[in-house]
Amino acid sequence: MKDIYKFLILLGAFIAAYFIPFESVSVQKAILESFYMLQDYAQKHVLLCLVPAFFIAGAISVFVSQASVMKYLGPAANKCLSYSVASVSGTVLAVCSCTVLPLFAGIYRMGAGVGPATSFLYSGPAINVLAIVLSAKVLGWKIGLARAIGAVLFAYVIGLLMAVTFRKEEASKQAVCMPEEEPKRKLWQDVVYMASMIGILVFANWGKPMEEAGLWYGIYAAKWYVTGLFGILFGFVIVRWFGAKPLPTVIIGAVVLVLALLFPKWPLLPFSAGIAGVVWVTKTSSDETKSWIDSTWMYALMIAPLLLGGVVVAGFLLGMPGTDNGIIPSRWIAALVGGNGFLPNLFASIVGAFMYFATLTEVPIVEGLLGSGMGQGPALSLLLAGPALSLPSMIVIRTVLGTKKTAVFIVYVVLLYTFAGMLYGWIIE
């Protein structure tokens, strides 16, 4: 099967090289746009989003027992409990569709049922409190409320649909009885450890709100101080409970502090130094921390190449948000999403599912499309589908779930949001 895929990739590359009219100005713009989008993604998401997410995914696979995952998220777990845990976890993280992928891969490979795993996969980017609040302020409270209700509801619905569709395949997981392992640490210690990394991930990526006032802006203004506090907590935890060497950890902390003081306008510099320091400290400490880094590296190798390749393809086809430099003109998209019928909502859902949206960028994009004649229903469909999926994330999801489950998941997302948009458009008309 792998040989067939390799052949198809080579065949596709040959056809593209043979037939694409590279002399065309529009094609040249689209190619350049794909690399602009790759650069934008690398600058905004790789260090702050993906790298911490890889560390968390690696920690899940090493420090969280498979028995615990099966107990709370497995196919045989209490449905109310498992889907609530999956949805709440995603809500707490509030990350983009690409950042949640390593975490999703981690819990699924550890034994989580396909239903709770896909609920988690959806809820992380979709149930973003800041995005929902921004939608209400910019687009109106009606569409903001509809987005909030739709996001919470579909986190459950999509997971349940996936579980029912693949119940026979999931039955084998139910039959597996994982023995309880003797814990090396108390549960609250592992919780603090995970919380320290999640805190770094969440606050390092806290987006700037539109208004420079209020609670959200206050958190944004203090985000690097909060991130630093979580970093201190993380350093204490890995030394105290995970066998990291104290002296190297203190040295790395001092280096990060000095860089932060010397270069306050360049927070990525101390952040990068901290990442490099964590790798060095953990790689040279206990066997447990070495396994953690090895697992982190495994997820990075599995996900990063596919994700970055998907970003290039998405940039070539659709261009960066707010531009008209993709091979598919934006006016075509705007012309197809007028009204609140089935086809406009379906098209909006498909575009939203395949297009890459950086965190919070979907709101100004929808605002512009509404000004160009987009219907209220398709606007909601795009708001729901956009953050939940993207072409790059689809490529990665397939490596975790397989082609069949990924295709079904995409179909469910597109159809549910199509009908949600139609219902919303019908209600407000």
How far is 190 from 65, CA to CA, in rounded Å?
Answer: 11
Cα separations in angstroms, 9 against 4, 13, 31: 9, 6, 19
- pLDDT tens for 169-183 read 766 655 544 455 555
| Per-residue pLDDT at 317 | 76
| Per-residue pLDDT at 66 | 60
DSSP state at residue 355: S
Tokens 């999403």 found at: 337
How far is 184 from 186, CA to CA, in rounded Å?
Answer: 7
Mean pLDDT across the stretch 71-92? 67
- pLDDT tens for 396-405 read 888 888 888 8
Tokens 């490596």 found at: 399
| Per-residue pLDDT at 229 | 93
| Per-residue pLDDT at 231 | 92
| Per-residue pLDDT at 230 | 94
How far is 116 from 77, CA to CA, in rounded Å?
Answer: 10
Residue 208 zone, left/alpha/beta (φ > 0; ψ -120 to 50; rest): beta
| Per-residue pLDDT at 273 | 92
Give which of 52, 62, 103, 40 is closest to 227, Cα–Cα. Answer: 52
- Is a pLDDT exceeding 80 seen at residue 99? no
Q: How confident is the model at residue 364 (pLDDT cuts 50, 70, 90)?
A: low
Q: Name 190's Cβ contacts closer than 8 Å, sequence gap at least 6.
A: 63, 64
Cα separations in angstroms, 27 against 23, 186, 323, 391: 7, 58, 15, 20
**Sign of the CA dihedral with 366 first, then 370, 374, and 380 last:** positive
* H-helix segments, 222-341: 223-240, 246-262, 268-283, 287-318, 330-335
Q: How confident is the model at residue 138 (pLDDT cuts 50, 70, 90)?
A: low
| Per-residue pLDDT at 90 | 57
- Is a pLDDT exceeding 60 seen at residue 187? yes
- Is a pLDDT exceeding 70 seen at residue 91? no
- % pLDDT > 70, the chain: 80
Mean pLDDT across the stretch 351-365? 70
What is the overall mean pLDDT for the chain? 79
| Per-residue pLDDT at 270 | 92
Domain regions of the chain by residue span:
29-185+285-428
- Is a pLDDT exceeding 90 seen at residue 156? no
- Is a pLDDT exceeding 80 seen at residue 73? no
Q: Name 287's Cβ contacts closer than 8 Å, sequence gap at least 6.
A: none
Mean pLDDT across the stretch 75-82? 68
Give which of 105, 104, 77 is closest to 93, Cα–Cα. Answer: 104
- Is a pLDDT exceeding 70 seen at residue 221? yes
Contact 245, 285 (CB under 8 A): yes
- pLDDT tens for 46-56 read 788 778 878 88
Choose between 235 and 205: higher pLDDT. Answer: 235
| Per-residue pLDDT at 232 | 92
Mean pLDDT across the stretch 202-227? 84
How far is 333 from 323, CA to CA, in rounded Å?
Answer: 13
Mean pLDDT across the stretch 278-289? 83
Contact 359, 69 (CB under 8 A): no
Contact 73, 107 (CB under 8 A): yes
Choose between 20 and 414: higher pLDDT. Answer: 414
Mean pLDDT across the stretch 183-200? 81
